A and B are shown apart, each in its own frame.
Chain A
């Protein structure tokens, strides 16, 4: 278990300062695939480097199973990193790279060899053991970097955007591979990425970061279905934002009145819900297109875009604003609607999230 408490990192002493991390607190459980997700410059890599020991935080605490990590230099921390650039040692073979950590730990040569062989098999690189790292492909380098970091059996593996340099197909393969390695080794993975899809498919939990602070922590479904604030809703997937008035809150259910005058029940924010004007987030695929009569929202169909797997409907709402719906396509079946039609937009009770801000 990693406990990060109030970690702040401010760069620049005199003159202008830059706050890379602003009072970040999070607890990461054992055997968890935990993802730090956010746009570049949000502090996710800095947080990873604080855990690894390459960045000293200005204040705050980092503890691993109760042990204070900040007191230890990087080479004494039982965590290993997979670097974004892989950082493989160019003067060593694949096997020597993988065995490096164990060699530094002064493990007996027989044990080093056995573990290296295991790791080579684990990442399916046994045939490449004697190659120089410059003689293997990007995807293979990626696997060697993984094996090298896993070989000393760290308590925590830190992964700094390890898939960003790979092409699309390889990235998909490696996502599955990473997930497999994590469940086979039982090591806690802390994964940094700016790719929301990568985060959703691989993670047990996700922390969405912005401007040095964590905006929301939760499971992929939680984050996607119930974003806490506009930034999270906007960063992950596509979202419609609706102006509404919050009437009342009952636990997690909130009664709201939409701009059209219709009332419905949606999900209340975790805390701080107050009656009055709020913003509502509704995912495009959670809403349905129907007739204007009796719908929650009504408007004119402005655009229909065919995407292969699904079709996007852009609706200009009465009273301003627009709404995008997404419907799965069926073979040889048209929606039966055309641009200019008067349509209604509805979503079931409980769908839609009142945002925090």
Chain B
């Protein structure tokens, strides 16, 4: 008898799978290994050392870029999540309304429009605003990041809301809860895992953005990724490896924290 289709039994499946894993993770492993290189090459191993971590830590430019990146990612995560919660509520709890699909597409626009297009568009608009107001501060970056992080914050929140039983909110209303109090006491406590996931996703998305940041930033507003890009144009040292490894560690910790949170909440 013919067996049902089993992808694992197809010729070459193992080879392809291995190739995918190697391509995905070998470069990252190499990156981490060479961040501990004692020499100043990113290709020739000269012994173990913390030297590039120390060097990155003591680098004023890295320090200020790190602070800027973290502040920017935090602001983008908070603001985009704050917008995503009402957006998700409106698109899941109001029944279907006219233009429902259109609004949905609009919220997710940053996922579909090529990033470079958004970047150029923001550059043009912000340039006009800069000329008109004379303001050249950090606000542009926060605005831009909030905008493109929105769908990343929105998606997990919406998924969580759709998974929630609507009759719980009806029960809340039935038991004399006003709409606000039902949201506060019934919806929100169950929405937290979604909100946390959305905020973390937005944070990570903002943290590694290069294209939009590169176009929108003013002079002296380098984030970690744009600083690294700038370094690569000159001389490449394992310092870049060290910074990348640190970023990697942060994202791994965040993913693990999220896993842990979502498990205990259930």
State the A residues within 8 Å of B (CB).
52-54, 73-76, 79-81, 83, 85, 87-91, 100-101, 104-105, 148-149, 152
Contact = CB atoms under 8 A, between A and B. Distances in A.
B190 A75 contact: no
Contacts of A79: 174
Given A74-B170, A87-B165, A100 B190 contact: no
A334 B16 CA distance: 77
Contacts of A152: 175-176
Nearest to A84: B167
Contacts of A89: 168, 171-172, 186
B136 interface: no
B110 interface: no
B170 A104 contact: no
B180 to A, nearest CB: 10
B162 interface: no
Interface in B118-174: 165, 167-168, 170-174
The 4 A-B residue pairs whose C-beta atoms are closest, nearest first, are: A101-B175, A87-B171, A87-B167, A104-B176
Contacts of A52: 174
B173 A75 contact: yes
Nearest to A134: B266
B170 A54 contact: yes
B177 interface: yes
A76 B174 CA distance: 8
B114 interface: no
Nearest to A158: B174
Contacts of A54: 170, 173
A13 B212 CA distance: 45
Interface residues of B, number: 19
B174 A81 contact: yes
A76 B178 CA distance: 8
A85 B181 CA distance: 22
A251 B186 CA distance: 58
21 contacts: A52-B174, A53-B174, A54-B173, A74-B174, A75-B175, A75-B182, A80-B174, A81-B170, A81-B174, A83-B170, A87-B167, A87-B168, A90-B190, A91-B189, A100-B172, A100-B175, A101-B175, A101-B176, A104-B178, A148-B175, A152-B175
B172 A85 contact: no
Contact of A104 (B167, B168, B177, B190): B177
A195 to B, nearest CB: 21
A218 B107 CA distance: 55
Contacts of B167: 83, 85, 87
Given A83-B167, A83-B170, A105 B176 contact: yes
Contacts of B170: 54, 74, 81, 83, 87
A34 B239 CA distance: 78
Contact of B165 (A75, A80, A85, A149): A85
B173 A74 contact: yes
A54 B168 CA distance: 13
Contacts of B175: 75, 80, 100-101, 104, 148-149, 152
A234 B177 CA distance: 43
A350 B177 CA distance: 54
B192 to A, nearest CB: 9
A17 B45 CA distance: 75
A100 B186 CA distance: 10
B173 A73 contact: yes
Contacts of A104: 172, 175-178, 181, 185
B177 A81 contact: no
B176 A81 contact: no
A100 B167 CA distance: 15
Nearest to B188: A91
A87 B165 CA distance: 8
A89 B181 CA distance: 14
A75 B174 contact: yes
B186 A75 contact: no
A327 B109 CA distance: 73
B74 to A, nearest CB: 27
Contacts of A83: 167, 170-171
Contact of B177 (A75, A88, A148): A75
A54 B190 CA distance: 22
Interface in B25-76: none
A91 B192 CA distance: 11
Interface string B85-126: 000000000000000000000000000000000000000000
A152 B190 CA distance: 24
Contacts of A105: 176
Nearest to B182: A75
Given A90-B168, A100-B177, 6 more contacts: A53-B173, A75-B173, A75-B182, A80-B174, A85-B165, A104-B181
B190 to A, nearest CB: 6
Contacts of A91: 189-190
Nearest to B186: A89
Given A89-B186, A91-B189, A91-B190, A75 B171 contact: no
A356 to B, nearest CB: 37
Contacts of A81: 170-171, 174
Nearest to A90: B190
A75 B168 contact: no
A149 B176 CA distance: 11
